[in-house]
Chains A and B, each alone.
Chain A
Amino acid sequence: MTGKQKKQFFNAIHVVLILIAIFVMLVPIIWIFLAAFKTHVDVYQLKLFFTPTFENFGTVFDDPYRLGEKLLNSTIVAFVTVLFAIPIATLAAYSFSRFDMRGETTMLVIILATQFVPAVVIILPFFVMFRDIGLLDTRVGLILVNLAIVMPFAIWMIKGFIDGIPLDTEEAAMVDGSSRLQVIRNIVLPMAAPGLLTSAIFCFIIAWNEFLFALILTNKDAVTLPIGLALFKGEEGDLWNLLSAAGIIIMAPMFVLALMIRKYFVQGMTMGAVR
């Protein structure tokens, strides 16, 4: 083979490998997608072609599953978690980014480290406390513990965005007599807005997908979507068509959100350790 032929040959192999990788990545998702539109008869066969039905999406919202309640819980919990986390994280991130503080590195390391504390450690004391003060199976309780996983991401991610905003505009405004808080409100916030939105979406996805806290803290009123998956166990085993429909309701909105911020996904997860 000549050099050129060799190159074309390897290129073709690469393309085939990439297509296989895409296939493996998508198959479980596509399979759930198909199953959600199958009847409860078709779903128990390896059928690729079938008459699609929308019935499953109706059934999951009816008695006894009532997925609507879980959807509402998930939405409220994730939304309120973000609503608290982002402003608090933004103030801290600005301060970490712009000022030198005593113990700043220590604080940042501790915040970083809290992300790595296993969720199962955090939840044991909270379970006992919530049991004693009556916060078990409430959205409020779930929001409080969700802050534990969302805050470190939010602080580090927003700090990264604010670090990237040049100082000049801020300094010019300070010379013109603006106070620090005016500078934050009128200059930093508008410039950081895309970054704040990105961080908010990122935290929303984390809170939405959270499983262990909701599993331990909720059992009826505050059950979220991922825990709701356990509902679809019938006497004769898993109800795969309903599970799949519920799966789509859980994952489809997150796919849309994730694609919106895909450029920053890696940065968010690695807290800026890798750019």
Chain B
Amino acid sequence: MRDHTLKYLLVLPAVVVVFATAIWPLIEAARMSFTVGRLNRPGSLEQYIGWENYTWAFFEEPAFWNSVYVTGMYTIVTVALTTLLALGLALLLAPGGRLRSGAQTLLILPFAMSPALIGVSFRFMFNPEFGLFDAFFGIIFPPLADVSWLADPDLAFAVVVMADVWGWIPFLTLVLIGGLASVPRDTIEAAQVDGASGWRVFKDITLPQLGPVLAVVIILKSIFSLKTFDQVFMLTNGGPGTATQTLSHYIYFNGMKYGQIGYSASVAWLMVIPMIFLTYAYAKFVFRKN
């Protein structure tokens, strides 16, 4: 067979799978978002109502805006915290040696843990009666000794953030260590010989060199933060009330629990829009590399 035909035949199965499992659902979800779409009402997925689901979300549903707010705050806080802490840890671990490479190996473990299990373990750790972190925070900051973490809206949000940051620091750290390895050593040494302080070296040499990697890390983490579902579901199930209800959780609840699948499809599509921008930014980095 000629290469000319073969090269398209080789990609065909993959293209079919990607189309069937990702592109088709996107298109179908868009169609569903313009219908009444009730799970318990046959035929309602063919009853078109124009933009009504979208206007409903925008103008009649405070819960939608609440989940937008929660997701936005969650994304900002987790991206900032995870990136800063991971950068610090990467700088600590980058020099190598036995202790440091041992630590790098251990970093893989939280990352291989299922996010649902991370949610469970943090609920365990923050149990008011026998949670280890609960006891720890109670000792270092006594006003927190008797709080019930997951029953308080702000503290529950803090716990969800901590679980997320804990789960993602390892991955970001490993990526940044990789980035640090490509910062030329002789430039740093030359600056040190010239008497530049550690902070100056970091600010003027390391950080600019690390720029593209940091950008990739921030984009990726933003994407994953926006989508967060598993930990939230297992930790707080969106509660107390709707204090930790992210967009994914809101969509799940409306679609699966209330059966308003048309409406939840419209919110789901609203969620795709920021993803498109982030994916575009990410793709630019990937293809600049090649």
Bound form: Cα–Cα A193–B109 in Å: 25
A121, B117: Cβ atoms under 8 Å? no
Asked whether A83 is an interface residue with its Cβ less than 8 Å from the other chain, the reply is no
Q: Which of B10, B175, B223, B229 contacts A94 (CB 8 A)?
A: B10
**Most chain A CB atoms below 10 A, which of B10, B110, B127:** B10
Q: A18-B92, A116-B275 are in contact. Are A124 and B17 (CB under 8 A)?
A: no
Asked whether A46 is an interface residue with its Cβ less than 8 Å from the other chain, the reply is yes
Bound form: Cα–Cα A113–B197 in Å: 42
Instruction: Write out the residue numbers on chain B whose beta carbons fall within 8 Å of the beta carbon of A269.
Output: 171, 175, 220
B13, A126: Cβ atoms under 8 Å? no
Contact segment of B58-66, B75-83, B260-268: B260-268
Q: Which of B39, B99, B116 contacts A226 (CB 8 A)?
A: B116
Asked whether A64 is an interface residue with its Cβ less than 8 Å from the other chain, the reply is no
B18, A21: Cβ atoms under 8 Å? no
Instruction: Write out the residue numbers on chain A whose beta carbons fall within 8 Å of the beta carbon of B123.
Output: 238
Distance (Å) between the CB of B239 and the closest chain A CB? 15
Q: A21-B89, A120-B229 are in contact. Are A91 and B14 (CB under 8 A)?
A: yes
B109, A118: Cβ atoms under 8 Å? no
A212, B32: Cβ atoms under 8 Å? no
Bound form: Cα–Cα A196–B17 in Å: 19
Q: Which of A92, A124, A240 contacts B32 (CB 8 A)?
A: A124
Asked whether A172 is an interface residue with its Cβ less than 8 Å from the other chain, the reply is no
Instruction: Write out the residue numbers on chain A whose beta carbons fall within 8 Å of the beta carbon of B220.
Output: 269-270
Q: Which of A44, A117, A147, A254 contacts B130 (CB 8 A)?
A: A44
Bound form: Cα–Cα A17–B103 in Å: 11
- A1-53 interface (Cβ within 8 A of B): 14-15, 17-18, 21-22, 24-29, 31-32, 35, 43-46
Instruction: Write out the residue numbers on chain A whose beta carbons fall within 8 Å of the beta carbon of B54.
Output: none
Distance (Å) between the CB of A88 and the closest chain B CB? 5
A114, B23: Cβ atoms under 8 Å? yes
Q: Which of B32, B99, B108, B282 contacts A259 (CB 8 A)?
A: B108
Q: A117-B275, A120-B248 are in contact. Are A31 and B21 (CB under 8 A)?
A: no
Q: Which of A29, A212, A257 contacts B113 (CB 8 A)?
A: A29
A28, B121: Cβ atoms under 8 Å? yes
A147, B112: Cβ atoms under 8 Å? no
- A209-223 interface (Cβ within 8 A of B): 209, 211-212, 215-216
Asked whether B45 is an interface residue with its Cβ less than 8 Å from the other chain, the reply is yes
Instruction: Write out the residue numbers on chain A whose beta carbons fall within 8 Å of the beta carbon of B230.
Output: 211-212, 226
Q: Interface size on A (CB < 8 Å)?
A: 94
Interface mask (B1-39 → A, CB under 8 Å = 1, otherwise 0): 101001110110111011001111110110010000001
Q: A113-B279, A151-B21, A266-B178 are in contact. Are A92 and B14 (CB under 8 A)?
A: yes
In this complex, what residue of A is CB-closest to B99? Answer: A18
In this complex, what residue of B is CB-closest to A109? Answer: B283
A112, B279: Cβ atoms under 8 Å? yes
A120, B114: Cβ atoms under 8 Å? no
Asked whether A243 is an interface residue with its Cβ less than 8 Å from the other chain, the reply is yes
Asked whether A76 is an interface residue with its Cβ less than 8 Å from the other chain, the reply is no
Q: A89-B14, A92-B15, A243-B120 are in contact. Are A121 and B112 (CB under 8 A)?
A: no
Asked whether B286 is an interface residue with its Cβ less than 8 Å from the other chain, the reply is yes
Bound form: Cα–Cα A74–B261 in Å: 27
**Most chain B CB atoms below 10 A, which of A46, A152, A259, A273:** A273
**Most chain B CB atoms below 10 A, which of A28, A145, A155, A265:** A28
Q: Which of A92, A110, A254 contacts B112 (CB 8 A)?
A: A254
Asked whether B106 is an interface residue with its Cβ less than 8 Å from the other chain, the reply is yes
Contact segment of A55-63, A65-73, A99-107: A99-107
Known: A117-B26, A181-B1. 10 other contacts (CB 8 A): A14-B92, A25-B110, A84-B17, A105-B287, A127-B261, A151-B18, A152-B18, A226-B116, A243-B124, A274-B175
Q: List 16 A-B contacts (CB under 8 A).
A: A28-B118, A28-B125, A92-B13, A105-B287, A113-B276, A116-B278, A118-B248, A118-B275, A119-B227, A125-B265, A126-B25, A151-B17, A226-B117, A266-B178, A270-B175, A274-B216
A: residues with CB less than 8 A from B are 14-15, 17-18, 21-22, 24-29, 31-32, 35, 43-46, 84, 88-89, 91-92, 94-96, 98-99, 101, 105, 107, 109-114, 116-128, 144-145, 147-148, 151-152, 155, 179-181, 205, 208-209, 211-212, 215-216, 225-227, 229, 238, 240, 243-244, 247, 250-251, 254-255, 257-259, 262, 265-266, 269-275
B: residues with CB less than 8 A from A are 1, 3, 6-8, 10-11, 13-15, 17-18, 21-26, 28-29, 32, 39, 45, 89, 92-93, 99-100, 103, 105-118, 120-125, 127, 129-130, 132, 135, 166, 169-171, 174-175, 178-179, 213, 216-217, 220, 223, 226-227, 229-230, 233-234, 248, 251-252, 255-256, 261, 264-265, 268-269, 271-272, 275-276, 278-279, 282-283, 285-287, 289-290
